[in-house]
Chains A and B, each alone.
Chain A
């Protein structure tokens, strides 16, 4: 009876240390543009052991004005599409730039895709409307592709603020484009700090339990059975 308990406690310790890493990563990215926090919960399935379960928190981050015309933030459920060497990736926007050839690119130089392919911006005044229509010097230059996936489960993080879609893309309808703004990370630093304290305490409690179980085992092995 004690041996399975030791395993169960050890499992909960590894869960809490993983949770600490996830929380630390959320907090480290509290200033990353368009960052979406990870949530981790323990859930009991039909099996005996509870299992760690991770989900992406797609809650809207604060949209902060920057007045830079090529800073693009999204409000609502949806993503912009960038074309990376590994395929199409989703992003929540950020500080874009125009490359030497006149195409709209992200910081890593990936083309930002419009409905008719990469967006070419030849002109001085760029206006991006709420539905993603790009107007350059008064003439329509294209429309940003706004896509989403069926559920957040179909998104894998890739770093660099990008998401890899695991399912089919579909047009995002509930999203608005804001020009001259950046979406802040949706990390709640205060709650994260509280979580850290909780994790630390739960971990210490687990270690105490382990020690007690070890004591019991020690009694069993040394005392019981002595003639």
Chain B
């Protein structure tokens, strides 16, 4: 029965973790390019009380195994497409389909993001809202009056003097064999890991990379209704496990009372 207590406690801990993840999803419902996470649980080890055997009149009997609870197997990030939110701002870019923007962190390493709310630095370079430069670097000339970014990632500017269009570069996207394996670095950034595999780069709308939407941001893929129903389910499951602890405790109490 003390095992039963621990089993139910593992159930409560698991549901607590689930609520933590749901709370983070809900907190980021308005975060650009945020990908929701999901908890996955699996059963813990089993104690085999009695092995399989066969009896004369009952035939084969399966093994008698008592399980010892549940554990959090993984937290999976769901890289589904978020909604496209029209902003009309020329440097807001969304990726529809596969791929990440590559940005360079202050320490020189690369990070990946789906958040395409870019701005210009003092030198006219395209940087993210936190100041990390887009890779490969794109610099807009100071005399440009308008910028056009095509669905294939081609960046053109209109020259202020004669109104001619000049191509200044092309946006590249990165893709991973296992995007679920990416590590969230905070600030809407993801980092490459052993699990994600190495980044492959390519141009938008080529080889299966997504297309770029100018004047648009990708909203988070959190669905409030789903998170709320999950939250209710987690809460109930938590209560049921607490109930199981109480029943085990009650049974221990009654057997303890036997000794006079």
Of the candidates B40, B41, B44, B244, the one whose C-beta lies within 8 Å of that of A23 is B244
User: Which residues in chain A, 1-38, are within 8 Å of chain B measured between CB atoms?
Assistant: 13, 16-18, 20-33, 35, 38
Interface stretch, picked from A73-81, A82-90, A111-119, A204-212, is: A204-212
A200 sits at the interface (CB 8 A): yes
Contact A13 B43 (CB under 8 A): no
User: Which residues in chain A, 83-114, are within 8 Å of chain B measured between CB atoms?
Assistant: 94-95, 97-100, 102, 107
Complex: how many Å from CA A30 to CA B73?
A: 14
Interface string of A45-59 (1 = CB under 8 A from B): 110000011111000
Assuming A38-B65, A154-B62, A211-B258, is B14 touching A68 (CB within 8 A)? Answer: no
Interface string of A191-202 (1 = CB under 8 A from B): 011001101100
Interface stretch, picked from A156-164, A168-176, A219-227, is: A156-164
How many A-B contacts at CB < 8 Å in the complex?
195
Assuming A24-B4, A159-B42, is B11 touching A29 (CB within 8 A)? Answer: yes
Chain B residue nearest in CB terms to A53: B61
Complex: how many Å from CA A23 to CA B49?
A: 16
Chain B residue nearest in CB terms to A20: B4
Instruction: List residues of chain A with CB within 8 A of the CB of B194.
Output: 100
Instruction: List residues of chain A with CB within 8 A of the CB of B206.
Output: none
Interface majority SS on B: helix, strand, loop or mixed?
mixed
Number of interface residues of A (CB under 8 A): 66
B92 sits at the interface (CB 8 A): no
Instruction: List residues of chain A with CB within 8 A of the CB of B241.
Output: 24, 27-28
Which positions in A face B, CB cutoff 8 Å?
Answer: 13, 16-18, 20-33, 35, 38, 43, 45-46, 52-56, 66-68, 94-95, 97-100, 102, 107, 124-125, 151-161, 166, 189, 192-193, 196-197, 199-200, 203-204, 207, 210-211, 214
Q: 7 interchain pairs (CB within 8 A)?
A: A17-B4, A18-B49, A31-B18, A32-B42, A125-B208, A157-B43, A207-B254
10 pairs of A and B residues whose beta carbons are closest in the complex: A28-B11, A25-B67, A153-B62, A21-B4, A24-B244, A159-B45, A32-B41, A54-B64, A24-B4, A196-B247
